[in-house]
């Protein structure tokens, strides 16, 4: 009787241990899958495309020019466009930009947000 | 006492196993990040745009007046043309005005970066390193030059090099 009780306790303990292991490993893999999914959906590449296109447009623009970036873009939903410290930052589908892409211009560059677009203007 | 020892031992083994699983997950994530990363290189296009800006600055309407460009401006041609230093830190530009054996240079930036370009001319450089290859554009064009009151036709040879943004 005592022996049977000991065996039951041991089996119960082993089962509990295994369940805890499975849950923790499952959590780790869930985190890993979310992180990988973020890379696979290519938001980073699309953000890169937008930032570099805008930077090249600013580089070649002269005063009086302005160009529009639609929020519903081919490269995804553009949520924010900023120019600061000589760099362009574009936020696409929730992916913030920390590095941006540098542009060069002798002129003043500004961005204003309208209903469904961002307007980048180049002034003297 | 034995029970406590067992629990502690099992805890240590669990920590070890979880660390191993986490390490494997991080390694696989790192490999997938590298595989799915894609670098879009626009520096050659930037070099062409910058070349046009510099040419329009120094020789508007096809006339290069060296008399109005001071010595300081000849060594810092970007600044002379109105660009901020922080904007052009990764650029190198050189314009050589050649006429009758006389060469005048207008430049700014680190000319040492040109040797980096030489390294990448080697076909054996792997694709993974190609993103570190500088953007480059060279060109030449004829221009009227005004120098010390004299006007003559000269050949301007220019080159622009743009380093990576990393």
Are B85 and B56 in a shared domain? Answer: yes
Are B22 and B53 in a shared domain? Answer: no
Are B68 and B116 in a shared domain? Answer: yes
The 10s digit of each residue's pLDDT in B46-92 is 999 999 999 999 999 999 999 999 988 899 999 999 888 877 788 99
CB contact under 8 A, B49 and A29: no
**DSSP letter assigned to residue A95:** B
pLDDT at B87: 78
Which residue of A lies nearest to B80 if distances are taken between CA atoms?
A106
The dihedral through the CA atoms of A25, A31, A35, A40 has a sign that is positive
Are B145 and B130 in a shared domain? Answer: yes
Are B69 and B136 in a shared domain? Answer: yes
Are B123 and B59 in a shared domain? Answer: yes
CB contact under 8 A, B40 and A49: yes
Question: What is the domain count for chain B?
Answer: 2
The 10s digit of each residue's pLDDT in B17-43 is 888 888 888 887 777 777 667 788 899
Are B97 and B156 in a shared domain? Answer: yes
Q: Which region, left, alpha or beta, applies to residue B123 given φ > 0 means left and ψ of -120 to 50 means alpha?
A: alpha
The 10s digit of each residue's pLDDT in A59-112 is 999 999 999 999 998 888 999 999 998 999 999 988 888 889 999 999 999 999
Q: How many helices (H) and strands (E) does chain B have?
A: 5, 5
Which residue of B lies nearest to A14 if distances are taken between CA atoms?
B10
Are B56 and B26 in a shared domain? Answer: no
B34 touches chain A (CB under 8 A): no
For A104, the closest of B22, B29, B83 (CB atoms) is B83
Are B110 and B61 in a shared domain? Answer: yes
Q: What is the mean pLDDT of chain B?
A: 85
Average pLDDT over residues B122-146: 82
Are B33 and B111 in a shared domain? Answer: no
Query: Where in the sequence is the domain holding B23, given as residue range(s)?
Result: 1-37
CA A23 to chain B, closest CA, distance in angstroms equals 11
For B49, the closest of A48, A59, A85 (CB atoms) is A59
In percent, how much of chain A has pLDDT > 70? 88
- Nearest to residue B101, comparing CAs of B139, B154, B150, B65? B154
B27 touches chain A (CB under 8 A): no
CB contact under 8 A, B40 and A105: no
Q: From chain A, which residues contact B within 8 Å (Cβ)?
A: 17, 20-21, 24-25, 28-29, 31-32, 35-36, 39-40, 42, 44-45, 48-49, 52, 55-56, 59-60, 85-86, 99, 101-106
Residue A4 has pLDDT above 60, yes or no: no
Q: Tell me the pLDDT band of A123, cut-offs 50, 70 and 90.
A: very high
Burial B21-59 (b: 16+ CB within 10 A, else e): bbeebeeebeebeeeeeeeeebbebbbbbbbebbbebbb
Number of Cα atoms under 13 Å in the Cβ half of residue A60: 11
Are B89 and B127 in a shared domain? Answer: yes
pLDDT at B63: 92
Are B133 and B63 in a shared domain? Answer: yes
| Residue corresponding to tokens 């295994």 | A18
């Amino acid at each position: 009787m005592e022996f049977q009780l000991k065996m039951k306790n041991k089996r119960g303990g082993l089962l509990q241990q295994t369940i805890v292991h499975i849950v923790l490993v499952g959590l780790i893999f869930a985190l890993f899958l979310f992180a990988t999914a973020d890379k696979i959906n290519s938001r980073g590449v699309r953000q890169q495309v937008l930032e570099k296109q805008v930077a090249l447009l600013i580089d070649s623009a002269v005063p009086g020019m302005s160009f529009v970036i639609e929020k519903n873009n081919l490269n995804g939903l553009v949520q924010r466009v900023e120019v600061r410290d000589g760099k362009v930052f574009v936020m696409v589908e929730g992916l913030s930009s920390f590095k941006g892409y540098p542009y060069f211009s002798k002129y003043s560059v500004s961005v204003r947000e309208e209903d469904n677009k961002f307007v980048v203007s180049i002034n003297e | 006492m034995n029970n406590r020892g067992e629990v502690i031992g099992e805890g240590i083994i669990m920590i070890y196993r979880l660390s191993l699983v986490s390490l494997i997950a991080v390694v696989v994530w790192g490999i997938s990040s590298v595989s799915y990363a894609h670098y879009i290189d626009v520096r050659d296009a930037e070099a062409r745009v910058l070349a046009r800006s510099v040419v329009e600055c120094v020789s508007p309407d096809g006339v290069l007046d060296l008399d109005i460009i001071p010595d300081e401006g000849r060594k810092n041609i970007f600044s002379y043309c109105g660009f901020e230093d922080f904007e052009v830190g990764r650029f190198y530009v050189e314009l050589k005005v050649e006429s009758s054996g006389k060469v005048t240079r207008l430049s700014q930036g680190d000319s040492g970066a040109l040797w980096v370009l030489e390294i990448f001319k080697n076909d054996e450089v792997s694709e993974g390193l190609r993103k570190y290859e500088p953007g480059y554009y060279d060109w030449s064009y004829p221009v009227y030059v005004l120098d010390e009151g004299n006007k003559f036709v000269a050949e301007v040879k220019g080159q622009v090099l743009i380093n990576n943004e990393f």
